[in-house]
Amino acid sequence: MSPADDPPPPHPSSRPLLAVGVRIQSDRHGGGMVLLYPEGVLRLNQTGADILSLCDGRRSIDEILAVLAETYDAQAQDFARDVIEFLNLLHARQFIRFTPGGLS
């Protein structure tokens, strides 16, 4: 995919949440966390699990970045691009969806 084909970034007030039929679960056999989706499983590293655990449809991307910054004792702008890229990849695979900001 060329940069011209990249989806536009979600608005910072967008609220990501797991798509219907997708969930995060502890891997009983291998340890760690996995993303379960219809007919598949994706092993998550700790950072990916931390990000997805915050994607509840209530927190905006900006709020998720703030929580991660506190959790990892870092500045949100240092990793915001990576988090948004991760969310876009999951959105492209239909594992998450974005709801407009301002919804309760």
Domain ranges of the chain: 12-95
Q: Which CATH class is domain 12-95?
A: mainly alpha
**Average pLDDT estimate for 55-68:** 96
Contact call for residues 55 and 46 (beta carbons, < 8 A): no
pLDDT of residue 9: 67
pLDDT of residue 8: 65
Q: Is the dihedral of CA 64, 67, 19, 27 positive or negative?
A: positive
Contact call for residues 17 and 55 (beta carbons, < 8 A): yes
At CA 92, angle to CA 87 and CA 98, rounded to 5?
Answer: 55
d(CA 26, CA 36): 10
d(CA 65, CA 83): 8
pLDDT of residue 102: 52
Q: What is the pLDDT of residues 66-98, one digit of tens each?
A: 999 999 999 999 999 999 999 999 999 999 999
Q: What is the pLDDT of residues 17-52, one digit of tens each?
A: 999 999 999 998 888 999 999 999 999 999 999 999
Give, in order, the Cα–Cα distances in Å from 81 to each of 23, 33, 66, 97: 24, 23, 13, 18
pTM score, whole prediction: 0.85
pLDDT of residue 47: 95
